[in-house]
Amino acid sequence: MATRHVLHPFSHSHLHPSSLVKALSRLQFISRTLNPSQSQTLKTRTRLVTSATASMASSSKKVLVPIADGTEPIEAVVTIDVLRRAGADVTVASVGKEKQVEASWGVKLVADALIADCAGSTFDLISLPGGIPGAPNLRDCLELQNLVKNHASNGGLYAAICAAPAVALASWGLLNCLKATCYPSFMDKFPPEVNKVEDRVVVDGRVITSRGPGTTMEYAVALVEQLYGKQKAEEVAGPMVMRQQHGVEFSMKDLNSVEWKSNGIPQVLVPIANGTEEMEALFIIDVLRRAKANVIVASVENTLEIVASRKVKIVADVLLDEALNLEFDFIVLPGGLGGAEAYANSEKLISLLKKQVESNKLYGALCASPAIALEPHGLLKSKKATCYPAMIEKLSDKSESNNRVVVDGNLITSQGPGTSMEFALSIVEKFFGRKKALELAKTMVFV
């Protein structure tokens, strides 16, 4: 009989401080109804919760990630996601007049606050994503500039990726006499006072810089290490299934190979739901739109705006109902446990997927979704697939599950957040060829 690992109800390792406060209130209420022996046990547990709440509150690091129209969504969302995995209290602030921003590649994100709301707040780290015109929009925001300069003068950690180190930080004089890197085509924008370095991630004192979308996961883990130390960075990186060697070429296990066809421009559906893994969704959407596929993002919920697994708010293009009457060459499900469960429970989406499979059309899934959404509905029958490593036992055929990306005819699956870029580039390769996929990988500084 299989053994299940059950988290102790009063264990706090995966809880937010607000959850612990609620637990404490419940314990205090329950204590009024217990006998002396039960009451003593409850008092002990109450002390544990109180201690845990104080401990987490004191160790939580505050981080600001500003976003703007034209921000590169991978660089913003991956940074937010990874830092929140580490336990950081991340505020996403729009430098525009509205909380919703139109990021690059048609991605719509909703911030937690406006930058004006952050005036007077203190942070342990401020991290600027890149993108054009996102980076110039950050640079031109006087409130943000003053906030970052004051933060830097007080010895705070600050960071930027892609175009932002050259366009924003350097223009504010915050990289003088420091080693820094940025997107390759912006290296000549650095003033002579900056020591230019072509490494994927550069740490010099209290400043961290990086090169582009394809280095964002390494960058985000480096931020975790600067905030919390190497051990925490390793704890966060491990479950994400990151690559062992960054910068090398990617590959996929291609079985029963067939030609992936479309009538000109591939028509792609990406469903999203509350609890979808935001990194995985954004890698797919961003990369395929760069490749000139027509990507429709459809909400499985009753609203266009969904709250993803790490609380990033994403606005879909349409509701799923609007997509049901459209024809798609390819339907692909991001992961995230909550998202995968939402897909599995959506009769309309599962019906659409079954029609896709019956028509021998293309489909795919990532992370939890192969095991949670596809397998139970017979959508992996006679197929080789992979999924998130902790869920492999749910697959009926586990023979190829150790591979990071598996293609079996008209199906493509992959393992997790750290394989998302390889997964998306493998889809590009199947539709457009290896040359196009490698060009994109190099443009994004993935290889």
- Token pair in block for residue 201: 């991630």
Residue spans of alpha helices (H) in 319-410? 320-323, 337-344, 347-358, 369
Q: Provide the total of helices (H) and of strands (E) in the chain, helices listed first.
A: 15, 21
Other CB atoms within a 10 A radius of the CB of residue 65 amount to 25
- Catalytic residue of the set 162, 182, 367, 387: 162
Q: What residues contact 379, with CB distance under 8 A and at least 6 apart?
A: 350, 353, 354, 357, 363, 373
Other CB atoms within a 10 A radius of the CB of residue 295 amount to 23
Count of residues making up the chain? 447
Active site residue 182: no
Residue spans of alpha helices (H) in 159-254? 164, 216-228, 230-237
Contact present, 117 and 93 (Cβ < 8 Å): yes
Q: What are phi and psi of 425, to 5 degrees?
A: -70, -30
Q: What residues contact 107, with CB distance under 8 A and at least 6 apart?
A: 73, 282, 285, 286, 314
User: Which of the 8 DSSP states describes residue 319?
Assistant: E
For residue 201, give the H/E element and its range: strand 201-204
Q: What residues contact 293, with CB distance under 8 A and at least 6 apart?
A: 265, 266, 267, 268, 431
Give me the active site residues, please.
Answer: 162
